[in-house]
Amino acid sequence: MKKLVLPLLVVIALVIAACAPAATPAPTQAPTMAPIVEPSPEPQTIVDVAVADGRFTTLAAALQAANLVDTLKGEGPFTVFAPTDDAFAQLPAGTVEALLADIPALTNILLYHVVPGKVLAADVVKLTSAETANSIPVQIKVVDGEVFVNSSKVVITDVEASNGVIHVIDSVILPPKDIVSIAVENGSFTTLAAALEAADLVETLQGEGPFTVFAPTDEAFAKLPEGTIEALLADIPALKDILLYHVVEGRLFAADVLASENLETLQGKKAAVELKDEKPYVGGAQIVVTDILASNGVIHVIDTVMLPPKDIVETAVADGRFTTLAAALIAADLIDTLKGEGPFTVFAPTDDAFAKLPAGTVEDLLKPENLETLRNILLYHVVPGKVLSGDVVTLTNATTVLGKDLVIKVENDKVFINNAQVIIVDVLASNGVIHVIDTVLIPE
């Protein structure tokens, strides 16, 4: 019996083992694949973008000829105002070919289209000018929502490149000529051109500068008294003095001019800037055309020849109607004061005004024992600062150099200082302004 049990147990064990689930095999590591690395695109420089676009073949050829490709492939950043092939096609026939044969001129033109730095459209419209890579600025203006660089319209903006940005323009921007060349070629400044030649100032105003020139037209010179031009051409120092009074150091656009009260001229005296009836004036001349850009500055056209102002005393003496006032200033030792820097506002009584005083008054005041009284009377006619008529009428009083106040009032469109009527206003002097009055002011 025992012999039968043991084999039976073995069979049962074998059956159970056969029916049991197979053991799970140990996991094996799946083979890994190397990641696929997409090649990154090469950075597209300004030159690359222009060439790839297909509308700038002439520009690309010009850059190659002028050896500027490496420059505009450089680090930068640059802002390029890029003329299309159609823009180059607008140039007179043969111009492109001539430029490709004149590399310095071509280089100068191309660099005039490049502004250092990356200036996006949103920043461009905030500017009035931008200095280019050839050191001559371009003017920027927005007209009816369209942006112009000089006279070229920006037609596409913010084409970004790895080393800057491109703005596409519809015409080639040509660098301007120098101040003298522009004046000569214009045809409206023949007298000015002749005067510059006579005064030996042509080379000066063709120099590096920059200069701001207020240029009187031929019509402006024609307004001078008969014989004045001929007399000046025979008196070169006086002519040169007048011409230099029309020149200011630096490039001042209209906005810069109007932001100033006075401009220091190369002649040495200041030219007053003011607005009258919303029209700009400089040195008494109206500015009729502004911002004519030159390679070495800017020209503003004026309708009158500016004559260097005399100081207050010189102006009064030269006028001829203030002989008594001039004598009184000398007697009171006030000449040097009113020839000083100032500025001063003088309410100047005419000889007729002094003649209205009681008989013998002037003679008594000129006596040595009365000079202190005379001095006080004269100082009562002087207000510190330059107060033009437009400002005078807004005041009710003004404190004089004497320390006492003047009463100012407007009645029937006439301005009175105390009881004296102002009969002539805004006689400009180098150190202030004169308003002519018909009565001597006597301090109380």
**140-148: average pLDDT:** 94
pLDDT over threshold 90, residue 37? no
Give the pLDDT score at 204: 96
Contact 170, 157 (CB under 8 A): no
Rg (CA), the chain: 41
Q: What is d(CA 211, CA 180) in angstroms, rounded to the nearest whole number?
A: 11
- Partnered with residue 432 across adjacent β-strands are 344, 429
Within 13 Å, how many C-alpha atoms sit on residue 428's CB side? 19
Q: Which residues of 6-43 are buried (b: 16+ CB within 10 A; e: fewer)?
A: eeeeeeeeeeeeeeeeeeeeeeeeeeeeeeeeeeeeee
Listed in sequence order, the DSSP H helices in 187-287 are: 190-198, 202-205, 218-222, 228-233, 236-244, 254-258
With 50 as the cut, is the pLDDT of residue 357 above it?
Answer: yes
Amino acid 43: pLDDT: 75
pLDDT value of position 41: 63
Beta strands 432-437; 344-349: pairing state: parallel
Residue 80: CB atoms within 10 Å: 28
CA proximity to 348, closest of 324, 372, 373: 324
Closest to 306 (Cα-Cα) out of 387, 223, 385: 223
Sheet-wide strand order for 211-216? 247-249, 211-216, 297-302, 285-294, 279-282, 270-276, 262-264
Bridge-based pairing state of the strands 285-294 and 405-411: unpaired
- CA-nearest of 442, 366, 364 to 407 is 442
Does the structure show a pLDDT above 80 at 361?
yes
Distance CA 365, CA 332 (A): 10
The amino acid present at 141, given as its one-letter code, is: K
Domains and their CATH numbers in the chain? 46-169 (2.30.180.10), 179-302 (2.30.180.10), 312-437 (2.30.180.10)
Query: Which residue's structure tokens are 């206003």?
Result: 425
Query: Quick one: pLDDT at residue 119?
Result: 96
Residue 7: the pLDDT is: 42
Separation of alpha carbons 316 and 427, rounded Å? 10
> CA–CA distance from 412 to each of 355, 409, 415, 416, 421 (Å)?
26, 10, 8, 10, 12
Residue 309: what pLDDT? 82
What's the gap between Cα 191 and its chain centre?
26
User: How far apart (Å, rounded) are the C-alpha atoms in residues 245 and 309?
Assistant: 9
Contact (Cβ atoms closer than 8 angstroms) between residue 158 and residue 124:
no
The residue ranking higher by pLDDT, 63 or 39, is 63
Task: Tell which wins on pLDDT, 420 or 341.
Answer: 420
Residue 83 phi/psi, 5-degree rounding, is: -80, 135
Structure tokens at 415: 């301005």
Mean pLDDT score, 222-238:
94
pLDDT tens, 398-441? 999 999 999 999 999 999 999 999 999 999 888 999 999 999 99
CA distances from 60 to 55, 130, 244, 409 (A): 10, 23, 44, 70
pLDDT, mean over the chain: 90
- Number of Cβ within 10 Å of residue 428's Cβ equals 19
| Model confidence, pTM | 0.70
Per the model's pLDDT, the better-predicted residue between 118 and 8 turns out to be 118
Residue 4: burial class (beta carbons within 10 Å; 0-12, 13-18, 19+)? exposed
In the predicted model, is pLDDT for residue 79 greater than 80? yes
Count Cβ atoms within 10 A of the Cβ of residue 433 and give its class: 0-12 exposed, 13-18 middle, 19 or more buried. Answer: buried
201 Cβ contact list (under 8 Å, min separation 6): 240, 243, 244
Q: Supply the pLDDT for residue 15.
A: 38
Lowest mean pLDDT among 24-33, 46-55, 342-351: 24-33
pLDDT at res. 392: 94
Measured distance CA(308)–CA(244) in Å, rounded: 9
pLDDT band for position 75 (cuts 50, 70, 90): very high
